[in-house]
Amino acid sequence: MSDKFFFKGRKPLRQSHISYGYQTKAIHKLGSQKNPLSLVVTNEERRQEIAAVVKEANIYANIQVNAEPDAMESIAELTTLLNKNTPLQVEKKPERNDPCPCGSGIKYKKCCA
């Protein structure tokens, strides 16, 4: 026989995943005080230049100097953070019954639509 005819008691409620300590929408903003950038430069002069850029942009960073002859500079995190694209601002199209933007004084639906 099928199970629907026999009462097995109330089904337990689905437990929330938040009660286990997981934060599914946690924000990890790169360059914040809690999550600073880790940058590597090759000399002290370059470290001072990068420190000035970081201070001007109000970003937190740990800058290390690696003076070995074959050392590579690693500031990719900083450049991506500074060169963030800004969202495009699209001009709002007038509604049907709004006055026409061409200046005729007629409703938009009868003029330029």
CA of 66: how far to CAs of 36, 69, 73, 103, in Å? 19, 9, 8, 64
Considering the domain boundaries, does residue 34 fall inside one?
Answer: yes
pLDDT in tens, 61-104: 999 999 898 889 999 999 999 998 888 888 888 888 989 888 88
The pLDDT value recorded for residue 7 is: 65
Rounded CA separation 25/57 (Å): 26
Considering the domain boundaries, does residue 95 fall inside one?
Answer: no
- Phi, then psi, of 111 in degrees rounded to 5: -110, -75
Considering the domain boundaries, does residue 74 fall inside one?
Answer: yes
Considering the domain boundaries, does residue 69 fall inside one?
Answer: yes
46: Cβ–Cβ under 8 A, 6 or more apart, which residues?
A: 73
Considering the domain boundaries, does residue 45 fall inside one?
Answer: yes
The pLDDT value recorded for residue 17 is: 56
pLDDT in tens, 3-31: 566 666 777 666 665 556 666 666 788 88
Q: Which residue range(s) make up the domain with 69?
A: 29-82
pLDDT in tens, 29-67: 888 898 999 999 999 999 999 999 999 999 999 999 998
H or E segment and range at residue 111: helix 108-111
Considering the domain boundaries, does residue 13 fall inside one?
Answer: no
- Asked if 100 and 112 touch (Cβ cutoff 8 Å), the reply is yes
The pLDDT value recorded for residue 36 is: 93
Query: What is the total count of domains within the chain?
Result: 1
pTM over 0.85: no
The pLDDT value recorded for residue 53 is: 95
